Each structure stands twice: as structure tokens, then as C-alpha cells.
Amino acid sequence: MREEIVADLKWVAEYWPDLLEARLPGTPRPWRQMDLTPEAIAERDEQARIERFERSLLTLGASPAPVDVTILSTVLDLLVHADDLAAAVAHTTGDSPLPPPGPGELDARPYLLYAARRLPDDLVEWAAPTARQMVDRVAHALSMVYAGQRLDVTCPWCRQEAAWRVRDLPGGMIAIVCESGAVCEPPAREVGTWWGGRPVWPVQDWARLARHLQAAEERGRIAS
Ligand SMILES: [Zn+2]
């Protein structure tokens, strides 16, 4: 269960910039740099590297929808939850806590990554629903912006271009669906689920999907 929580927290950190951009489309990211420990800086840089790599693969097209006040309230709520989580972790482990976010500081990532890195066994059960709820809330906020958009990638399984689309599926599942006209049948271990005979990757699987895509593209380059 611990690995799932860590994965959830890292996922939220990964998509945090997208959430902020969704809040204020076309505006530079508004947060100021906080005082971070060298460890947190190293982790943040590593995170930024992974994020650049993954986001460059799953770049969503056209400009986002207009600002939505529910996105702003999601940002603020999640920031509070992330700060609480990091503070609870610091309290339990005895590590020095991160300073709370100052006015106008909207970066939850240091808190998410702090908690992900240090989460003690004692807090696993307590933190699990919070982490999962964070993922759901980010996914839903982003779906308001991204639903319906096509991704400019070639499906590694059916080889069709621009067949992937972000969908808000029944049950509130935000997912990438391969909507190519061709038969698309990824092996069971590489697909999240199915919908109307089409392979579906829920939002939690996107980072993994991006890595798979990267590997497929590299194999393609070597082969050609
Ligand atoms: Zn496909």
C-alpha cells in the first residue's frame, strides 16, 4: 500500500504544473521559489527532469478552456492537504518540517515529494485516502480542461497516428482512449481497461504509458 501512496503523491506532483496552467491559461507560472533543503532541491530537479521527459511525450494540443474557479479551489485545497501531510510526516519521523507555503505560493510539489520520500509505516493507512483523493481531484480538474483533446502521438500497438483522445468516461474516469479505426489490442498487462472494445488508460497510468511510448519510439528509431 505504501508504494501506491508514493505513486499517487508523485503523480499529483507531476501534474501540478498542468493544474496551475489550467487555472490561469496563458499566464506564466505564478509561484516564487521557496527555501528548500539541498535534498528537496535535488528531488525537485529530478522531478523536473522526469516531468519534462514525460510531458514532452504526452503533450496535449490546443489551448486550454477558460479559467474555472473550481480549479482554483482545487489548487488551494490540495496545497493545504499537501502541507498537512508533510507536516504530519515530519511530526512522526522527527525530520525538520518544510516551511508552510507563503501568501501567493501555490507549489504543492515540495510537500508532496517530502511526504512521498519519508512516509513512515505508521501513517500509511491514514494517508492512503488523502493521496487517492488528491489524484482524483487533479484528474477531474484537468479533465475539465483536456477532455476531448487528441494527443499527437502514434499508438505503439495499432500504429495509427493521432488516435488517442482524452475522455471523461462514465463513472467519472478520466482516461486516454485509443480511437483508431484499426483493431488495437495491447497485451493485457499494458492496458488499464477497455471501453466499447477500445483500450483505455486511466489518468493514473499516463506516466507509465508515456514511458512505454518512449520505449516504442526508441525501438522504432533503431529499427529504421
Ligand atoms: Zn491503438
- pLDDT of 100-111, one tens digit each? 988 778 899 999
Residue 25 has pLDDT above 80, yes or no: no
Residue 30 has pLDDT above 50, yes or no: no
Give the chain's mean pLDDT. 78
User: pTM value?
Assistant: 0.61
Question: In angstroms, what is the span from residue 182 Cα to ligand 1's centroid?
Answer: 7
Q: What is the DSSP letter of 102?
A: P
9-35 core/surface letters (b: 16 or more CB in 10 A; e: else)? bbbbbbbbbbbbbbbbeeeeeebeeee
Task: Say how many CA atoms lie within 13 Å of 164 toward its Cβ.
Answer: 27
pLDDT top residue among 93 and 51: 93
Residue 43 has pLDDT above 60, yes or no: yes
Share of the chain above pLDDT 90, in %: 33
pLDDT tens sequence across 165-200:
888 888 777 788 999 988 999 998 889 889 888 999
Question: In angstroms, what is the span from residue 5 Cα to ligand 1's centroid?
Answer: 30
Question: Ion ligand 1 — residues with CB under 5 Å?
Answer: 155, 157-158, 178, 180, 184
pLDDT top residue among 43 and 156: 156
Question: In angstroms, what is the span from residue 184 Cα to ligand 1's centroid?
Answer: 4
- Give me 126's grid cell: 491514514
